[in-house]
């Protein structure tokens, strides 16, 4: 998660520095849409329980896949790569003087690709979670199960303080 925040801050800083607000808006919109479904899924899990929590989590997984794995590279990474390659050809032309724009795109491309790699990693984790839910291996919120395992019973705490 720390890596994600570092990449996001770097994108914001370079976006303002190079005045590429449109890239920042597209990244923010594509990534923030899925947060609505994730938070909604958490709320539905606590309020309504199953089967609605499973349906809402599947909706989150589908929206994550569409926005971050399909649309993000189609609208940002692929066009930026083609423009970058096109400019590499133009840079060999002595009349073309757009080195500043070339450096901008050379800066943005690795950052966007690293964000996409994180999205692929998270999608892998989400698919693993969906498989576990559909196999009925996981019920409810995993974080609650982890807290229940690590939490001590009040009686155990009292006995330890007496000794």
Given a cut of 90, whether residue 60 has pLDDT beyond it is yes
- The mean pLDDT value for 15-25 works out to 78
Q: Which range has highest mean pLDDT (21-25, 34-38, 86-90, 141-145)?
A: 34-38
The whole-angstrom separation of Cα 44 and Cα 35 is 14
Given a cut of 70, whether residue 63 has pLDDT beyond it is yes
- The mean pLDDT value for 72-88 works out to 81
Number of H helices, E strands in the chain: 8, 0
State if pTM tops 0.75.
Answer: no
Given a cut of 70, whether residue 64 has pLDDT beyond it is yes
Within 13 A of 72's CA, how many CA atoms are on the CB side?
27
Residues 6+ apart with CB under 8 A from 138: 129, 132
Contact (CB, 8 A) for 12 and 24: yes
Angle between helices 2-18 and 99-134 (to 10 degrees): 150
Q: Where are the domains of the chain?
A: 2-162
Who has greater pLDDT, 87 or 21?
21
């Amino acid at each position: 998660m720390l890596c994600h925040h570092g990449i996001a801050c770097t994108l914001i800083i370079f976006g303002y520095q190079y005045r590429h607000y449109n890239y920042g808006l597209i990244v923010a919109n594509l990534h923030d849409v899925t947060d609505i479904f994730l938070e909604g899924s958490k709320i539905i899990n606590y309020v309504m329980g199953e089967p609605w929590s499973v349906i809402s989590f599947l909706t989150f997984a589908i929206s994550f896949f569409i926005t971050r794995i399909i649309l993000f590279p189609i609208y940002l990474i692929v066009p930026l790569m083609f423009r970058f390659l096109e400019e590499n050809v133009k840079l060999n032309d002595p009349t073309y003087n757009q080195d500043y724009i070339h450096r901008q795109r050379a800066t943005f491309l690795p950052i966007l690709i690293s964000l996409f790699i994180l999205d692929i990693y998270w999608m892998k984790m989400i698919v693993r979670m969906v498989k576990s839910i559909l196999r009925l291996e996981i019920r409810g919120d995993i974080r609650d199960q982890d807290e229940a395992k690590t939490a001590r019973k009040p009686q155990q705490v009292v006995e330890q303080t007496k000794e």
